[in-house]
Amino acid sequence: MTNPAPGVRPRAPFFSSGPCAKRPGWSLEALSDAALGRSHRAKIGKTKLQQAIDLTREVLRVPADYRIGIVPASDTGAVEMAMWSMLGARPVDLLAWESFGSGWVTDAVKQLKLTDARVIEADYGKLPDLSAVDTKTRDVVFTWNGTTSGVRVPNADWIAADREGVTICDATSAAFAQALDWEKLDVVTFSWQKVLGGEAAHGMLILSPRAVARLETYKPAWPLPKIFRLTKGGKLIEGIFKGETINTPSMLALEDYLDALHWAKGIGGLDALIARADANATVIQDWAARTPWVSNLAEDPATASNTSVCLRIVDPATVAKGEEAVAALAKAIAARLEGEGVAFDIGAYRDAPAGLRIWCGATVERADLEALTAWLDWAFAAETAQRAA
């Protein structure tokens, strides 16, 4: 029996969960105004960096009294700066249900060697018990959206409004696609390369007044490298939050982020971005619900991500052969679609359960995801038939 390929191909086959697809209509011409060959300390450089901060505040609806800084080393750098500068002042609860949250646990427990740290974990596809988190008296470190598990917190209702500690939130695959509750968040981090499809470079570090107070009143017991230092003489280095970056940023990557922010503002801002991601994720979730060989890794639909949608293969014949067979099939499907040029980088993250991961953020077009589902079915049929032959 023949297995004809679908007739409609995704216009843009870019479904990687980072770096993510460029905005619709993007071309290199969008970066023609980049301040290449100019110092980021020159007027033009400072102006563009400040513009990125201002547009970030406008599109994300960041409160006026929160600081926004551009810092080195992408989202990872931003999270590390916060953890190394703030943790240790009081006990901390560390949440982990996927790779990156587990990484923050490792840093806090094994590198910072915090002795009063509780680790609250859950398997891939689930959230930890949020009611067990002491957000009243302890600091909290968590990811809003698990990029490698496709599971997100549904809201911030579990965080105490009258908390005494600080909440450090890695929001890199949530910012611009999910509604962040700023009143419950003291540190928010993300990178340019996720929902807005920018190029990897610097990270964004957003601080509440409570976070600033922690920085100005607490001195960690360990030395801080230069790129982690946010204070000088017990006072916040305000220049970081006015575009005076700690090290040299890529002006080309900055221009790309500015282009993405202008696009986001032009299509209707945060509400439009969230709506696009929701509609995109629905395509994949609905397809998974009616497809017998695959299911969403997120067990509770209320916690399923609308950006990094993770899928596991549940085909009975393959599952019966064991985990290696499942992993081999998932890898083969991803490779076949890449070879056809219809889907790039859709394999599950290396630390996650074997399966597929499809980015549904705002820069992806819904029609491309609709076309992709037919190709996924085609690839599955082709690979299982080949194995049965």
Report yes or no on whether pTM surpasses 0.95: yes
**Domain boundary residue, one of 236, 265, 294:** 265
Question: What CATH number is associated with residue 373?
Answer: 3.90.1150.10
Residue 18 domain-assigned (yes or no): no
- Per residue of the chain (389 residues), give pLDDT as tens: 578 999 999 999 999 999 999 999 999 999 999 999 999 999 999 999 999 999 999 999 999 999 999 999 999 999 999 999 999 999 999 999 999 999 999 999 999 999 999 999 999 999 999 999 999 999 999 999 999 999 999 999 999 999 999 999 999 999 999 999 999 999 999 999 999 999 988 999 999 999 999 999 999 999 999 999 999 999 999 999 999 999 899 999 999 999 999 999 999 999 999 999 999 999 999 999 999 999 999 999 999 999 999 999 999 999 999 999 999 999 999 999 999 999 999 999 999 999 999 999 999 999 999 999 999 999 999 999 999 88
Assess whether 295 and 225 both reside in one domain.
Answer: no
**Domain boundary residue, one of 201, 231, 265:** 265
The per-residue pLDDT for range 153-187, each reduced to its tens digit, is 999 999 999 999 999 999 999 999 999 999 999 99
**Distance, CA of 156 to CA of 134 (rounded, Å):** 13
**Domain boundary residue, one of 245, 265, 285:** 265
Assess whether 280 and 238 both reside in one domain.
Answer: no
Residue 17 domain-assigned (yes or no): no
Residue 92 domain-assigned (yes or no): yes
The one-character DSSP state at 165 is S
Assess whether 259 and 279 both reside in one domain.
Answer: no
The per-residue pLDDT for range 44-89, each reduced to its tens digit, is 999 999 999 999 999 999 999 999 999 999 999 999 999 999 999 9
Spatial contact of 141 and 293, defined as CB atoms under 8 Å apart: no
What pLDDT sits at residue 1?
A: 52
Residue 19 domain-assigned (yes or no): no
Question: What CATH number is associated with residue 80?
Answer: 3.40.640.10
Tokens linked to 373: 């589902």
Assess whether 206 and 346 both reside in one domain.
Answer: no
What burial letters (b/e) apply to 347-360, b meaning 16+ CB within 10 Å? Answer: bbbeebbbbbbbbb
The per-residue pLDDT for range 300-313, each reduced to its tens digit, is 999 999 999 999 99
Q: What percentage of the chain carries pLDDT values higher than 70?
A: 100
Assess whether 216 and 277 both reside in one domain.
Answer: no
Assess whether 156 and 234 both reside in one domain.
Answer: yes
Assess whether 285 and 224 both reside in one domain.
Answer: no
Assess whether 201 and 280 both reside in one domain.
Answer: no
Whose structure tokens read 């427990």?
Answer: 109
Assess whether 254 and 355 both reside in one domain.
Answer: no
**Distance, CA of 44 to CA of 34 (rounded, Å):** 10
Q: What's the number of domains the chain is made of?
A: 2
Structural domain that includes position 348: 269-388
**Distance, CA of 53 to CA of 56 (rounded, Å):** 5
Assess whether 121 and 230 both reside in one domain.
Answer: yes
